[in-house]
A and B are shown apart, each in its own frame.
Chain A
Amino acid sequence: MRVIVLVKASAESEAGQMPSEELLTQMGSYNEELVKAGIMLAGEGLHPSSKGKRVRFTAKQRAVIDGPFAETKELVAGYWVWQVKSMDEAVEWLKRAPFDGGAEVEIRPVFEAEDFGAEYTPELRARDEQLREQVEERQKR
């Protein structure tokens, strides 16, 4: 399964402060460990929300809101995408990360085709059906 690991913002990250050299080194070796275990697919850090924008949708209106945004602890400061066998495995790997100071890091499983089950709507079904017919048609030709 694929999971996304969301690192939340802090007062420091929102202030645009770079982590200490020590933390950067630790994070570097942690990332290397993730790569060598074959679980890391991607990972990036994000600029503070002061450099971000939001778009609010109301009926036909599109309102653009400039950062920074409040609710610091709910903002995302970085993410990883991991390929793991289970949520347990993701938790076990995350425990080894060099965070401190009450940081909370969130793991969320990514939807996979088989998760859709009931959500697999008649429209989607019809589209796949159509695709299948096209294929058969092509093969008959």
Chain B
Amino acid sequence: MTDSSQHTRRAIETVWRIESARLIGGLVRVVRDLDAAEDLAQEALIVALEQWPETGIPENPGAWLMTTAKRRAIDRLRRQRMLDKKHEELGRAPVQDLLTTLESAVDAIDAEVEDDLLRLVLVACHPILPTEARVALTLRLLGGLTTDEIARAFLASEPTIQQRIVRAKRTLGEAKVPFEVPRGADLTQRLSSVLEVVYLVFNEGYSATKGDAWLRPALCDEAVRLGRILAAHLPDEAEVQGLLALMELQNSRARARVTPSGEPVLLLEQDRGRWDQLLIRRGLAALERAEVLKRPLGPYTLQAAIAACHARARTAEETDWVRIVALYDGLAELTQSPIVELNRAVAIAMAFGPEAGLELADQLKDEPALASYHLLPSVRGDLLQKLGRLDAARAEFERAAFLAKNTRERELLLARAKACR
């Protein structure tokens, strides 16, 4: 391949990455079928790959791809009509009339473009799909990740991911899900399933439980990008802004949370000089928008507000733990989650002393959801140790080590148990 054709090819791939989601989103509005929309978009890409090296890349490549895909769509509809005409007897609407209707429907593709990305996200994250299918479809359609990349990020085989995507599309087709963008309360409700997917992708990248190491930052970046796109399209949705704030603020600590050799650094031990001030500012701005939009605050906004307490503190000692406790109170009431309660116990200990924290942590001992969760005994061990009750603390750390799944964590917990002698 010559230099210039290689150059064009790379440029086409870049255009594709920028334009494909909007293209598919626009096509799905007209052809009402995700598979067909993707096919048409792919066909337009193939035409571009054939023609652009000769003609050069057009001035407005997105519009060019859309026009090409539109022509393909009309051709398809024509062929379909011709077949129908052969199979069916006359007596229905004249074929020519139908064709005109279809063509004007295809022309309508230029209207409503504003919603095309949003439409695609809502379809990819449709609540009739299982979560893992929503994740795969979203990363594929909106993130432009290949099935191979998705597979590696989630430690699955490529055929598994491919199957998941094929099945998801079939489910959507069979259920005849509408492709309209709902409004008002319906939209807010549909969005909750989208936000869940975005945050799941973010956490997969952030907490690094499995999968290829080099893909983790890519997953975080992708999730935050989706969050930014949603926030720009839906400036009035409080929880969309709240989730974006949460991700920007958490991501702002990415550089400080591990040493170059990969050892985790606890939040309160991090070098705050390495926190990314640009992301912090963006996070705080999104949080402010969310707080203005809706009271009481939703769960993502509350979590963002907690993250903001850390972001605002110039040193660990300056952290406003009393405010964090109040925010956890709200979050606990909203989510009824024992894990949130455990976090609240830690915040209470920081704000009002280990005794107060331990009191709440002790109440969680019989919580079935936490029965095999290593962080409960780990937190209790920590608080007992601070209170000087070393024997009890050691027993808790040993129990936590027994429950921990991660080798490095287990070693740390055993070391802490040993230190309680």
Contact = CB atoms under 8 A, between A and B. Distances in A.
Contacts, number: 76
Contact of A141 (B255, B265, B266, B419): B419
Given A36-B233, A38-B232, A86-B14, A138 B269 contact: yes
Interface stretch (B166-174, B222-230, B352-360): B222-230
Interface stretch (A8-16, A17-25, A67-75, A87-95): A87-95
Interface of B: 10-11, 13-15, 17-18, 117, 221, 224-229, 232-233, 255, 259-261, 263, 265-266, 269, 271, 278-279, 282, 385, 412, 415-416, 419
A78 to B, nearest CB: 17
Contact-residue size bin, chain A (C-beta under 8 Å from the other chain): 20 to 34
A29 interface: no
A38 B17 CA distance: 13
Contacts of B385: 141
A140 B416 contact: yes
A128 B232 contact: no
A12 B269 CA distance: 50
A58 interface: no
A89 B301 CA distance: 32
Contacts of A35: 228, 232
Given A37-B229, A38-B226, A83 B221 contact: yes
A59 to B, nearest CB: 28
Given A36-B233, A85-B17, 11 more contacts: A35-B228, A36-B232, A38-B226, A38-B227, A38-B232, A41-B278, A86-B14, A113-B260, A132-B259, A132-B261, A134-B269
A49 to B, nearest CB: 24
Contact of B415 (A125, A128, A131, A139): A139
A83 B225 contact: yes
A81 interface: yes
A97 interface: no
Interface in A33-76: 35-39, 41-42
Q: Which 3 A-B pairs have the closest CB atoms?
A: A38-B228, A38-B229, A38-B225
Contacts of A139: 266, 412, 415-416
Given A37-B229, A140-B416, A131 B271 contact: yes
A113 B258 CA distance: 11
A42 B15 CA distance: 23
A123 to B, nearest CB: 13
Contacts of B266: 135, 138-139
A93 to B, nearest CB: 7
Interface string A79-115: 0010101101101110000000000000000000100
B61 to A, nearest CB: 8
Contacts of A136: 412, 415
Contact of B10 (A38, A88, A135): A88
Nearest to B254: A113
A83 B182 CA distance: 30
B255 A113 contact: yes
Nearest to A113: B255
B387 to A, nearest CB: 14
Contacts of A91: 14
B259 A131 contact: yes
A81 to B, nearest CB: 7
A139 B228 CA distance: 37
